[in-house]
Amino acid sequence: RADLMTQGMALVELYLQEPPPKRIVAVEQEIICPVHDSQGEYLETPLVAVADLIVDTDDGLLVREFKTSARAYGESEVASSLQPTCYVNAVQEVFGEPATVEYTVLIKTKTPKIQRLPASRTDEDLGRLGEIVKNVEKGVQAGIFYPVESAMNCSTCPYRGPCREWGRPTLPREESPALVTLEVG
């Protein structure tokens, strides 16, 4: 526990060495906003996002998403994540200004480091987010649920046990059917 405290303090001290943002708009800001699909039609279900830090820059609003990690993030992790897409959608819908996201990763190595990874999103990305939301809603309405496992989320989830049991066989498996040999030629 003492090692964790020491490591945490070292990360905070490293972060505090940087100059603070000049124009802070919001800290830990909950944003409830609409989501649109790829056709530009708004969905009934709103998006709820909580932005760690929103800063006004010369290029528009910047959402800083703070992460801690034992290793540096790869650019593909940020590029494929829906989280920045949700933030860009939320900030642009509520504030009416262009928005970008920056992951500020506090890396918990022997010598602490800070990594910054920008994440910009296009209008097409925002429409795709709406399509994903629509399809998830269809699955929920149809009663289709399946595990989406992740090391970070599952470790503290109260549904971890039932989720791990999902899809496990309750009866002995049937005997495999005989396979037909295909003749090629």
pLDDT digits (tens, 9 = 90+) for 149-171: 887 778 888 888 888 888 787 77
| Residue 19: pLDDT over 90 | yes
Mutual orientation of helices 123-141 and 82-95 as an angle, nearest 10°? 110
Which pLDDT does position 169 carry in this prediction?
Answer: 74
Which pLDDT does position 4 carry in this prediction?
Answer: 85
Burial class (CB in 10 A: 0-12, 13-18, 19+), 179: exposed
pTM for the predicted model, two decimal places = 0.82
Q: Which residues contact 27 (CB under 8 A, 6 or more apart)?
A: 52, 53, 54
Which pLDDT does position 160 carry in this prediction?
Answer: 87
The residue whose two tokens read 């699955």 is: 139
pLDDT digits (tens, 9 = 90+) for 31-74: 999 999 999 999 999 999 999 999 999 999 999 999 999 999 99
Q: Which residues contact 173 (CB under 8 A, 6 or more apart)?
A: none
User: How far is it, in rounded angstroms, from Cα 110 to Cα 99?
Assistant: 34
Average model confidence (pLDDT) for the chain? 92
Q: Which CATH number is 2-164's, of 3.30.70, 3.30.420, 3.40.50, 3.90.320?
A: 3.90.320
Which pLDDT does position 57 carry in this prediction?
Answer: 95
Contact (CB, 8 A) for 69 and 76: no
